[in-house]
Amino acid sequence: MGNWKHEHLSQEFVRYIDQGVVELSKRLHEEPALRSQLESVIQEQLSRSQMEAHDIEQGLSILTGPHIAQAVVASLRLLDTHEEIEELLEAGYDEQAVHFLRYLVARYGPVFKAFRRRVHYPLGWHKCSFAVTKPEYGGPYLNMKVLRNDDTPLVLEDDTESMVRLINLMLGALELVKDHDSLAEETLTEFAERTQKLINSAIERTMGGTNGTEH
């Protein structure tokens, strides 16, 4: 594999799936029926109400051996984008094997990830939407709907000031956790830019309102 110089996939991940992808390539050429057999095992495991990653890997291991099983499960768990899979092709892996992994990830990856979230982190969230409502009296209200991993909806609706206070309280809680290493730099940068924009807009409105009163 040499020195890994690609942008989207880590060298550790590729090393982890390397032997499995090589074996998958060989088996697909020798056993065309393996494609449908692999898919049937994944479908069966995903049809269960309480699904663990280990269940799929165990089933696939019986069918193909451990290396192919861990390559398939790792791909379902960790591959998210077209660019990531393209890098496997650029690294020289067999086109048929990579295209089959692409198909499995596209068809079963999102469902697999959703099941894992639901089982392991039911109180986490995976979807959030916003809407602005304008009552007959008073200012605009922000309606926020958060969908938990167990598909329970949580709905909040309040004025802008209350929502900002809620964000401030959440920031205080995050400071207590002190889990700074898990925070992505791009997320923090985006947060800082949006916060500064909100502050600037509020200051401009306040100063504008004051000047208007004086005149």
pLDDT tens digits, 123-136: 888 889 999 988 77
As a whole number of angstroms, the distance between CA 38 and CA 104 comes to: 9
Task: Tell me, yes or no, whether 190 and 134 share the same domain.
Answer: no
- Percent of the chain surpassing pLDDT 90: 36
Per-residue pLDDT at 144 exceeds 80: yes
- Return the top range by mean pLDDT from 2-16, 93-107, 148-162: 93-107
Can you tell me the mean pLDDT for 151-162?
90
State the pLDDT at residue 210.
45
Any domain includes 2: no
Per-residue pLDDT at 101 exceeds 90: yes
Per-residue pLDDT at 96 exceeds 60: yes
Task: Tell me, yes or no, whether 136 and 85 share the same domain.
Answer: no
In the chain, the number of structural domains is 3
pLDDT in tens, 48-82: 755 556 678 888 999 999 999 999 999 998 898 88
State the pLDDT at residue 40.
93
Provide the mean pLDDT of the chain. Answer: 85
Per-residue pLDDT at 139 exceeds 50: yes
Residue 107 structure tokens: 């068809």
State the pLDDT at residue 214.
36
Task: Tell me, yes or no, whether 56 and 155 share the same domain.
Answer: no
Per-residue pLDDT at 165 exceeds 70: yes
Task: Tell me, yes or no, whether 27 and 116 share the same domain.
Answer: yes
- Percent of the chain surpassing pLDDT 70: 89
pTM, 2 dp: 0.62
Task: Tell me, yes or no, whether 149 and 129 share the same domain.
Answer: yes
Any domain includes 3: no
* 139 vs 203, more confident: 203
Any domain includes 1: no
| CB-CB neighbours of 1 under 10 Å | 10
Task: Tell me, yes or no, whether 67 and 106 share the same domain.
Answer: yes
pLDDT bucket at 211, cuts 50 / 70 / 90:
very low
Task: Tell me, yes or no, whether 171 and 210 share the same domain.
Answer: no
Task: Tell me, yes or no, whether 194 and 204 share the same domain.
Answer: yes
Task: Tell me, yes or no, whether 154 and 198 share the same domain.
Answer: no
Any domain includes 6: no
Pairing relation of β-strands 125-133 and 153-159? unpaired
Task: Tell me, yes or no, whether 112 and 60 share the same domain.
Answer: yes
Task: Tell me, yes or no, whether 114 and 147 share the same domain.
Answer: no
Picking from 120, 144, 168, the residue at the C-terminal end of a domain is 120
pLDDT bucket at 119, cuts 50 / 70 / 90:
confident
pLDDT in tens, 179-193: 888 888 888 899 899
As a whole number of angstroms, the distance between CA 11 and CA 16 comes to: 9
For 200, the domain range is 183-215
State the pLDDT at residue 187.
87
Can you tell me the mean pLDDT for 187-214?
75
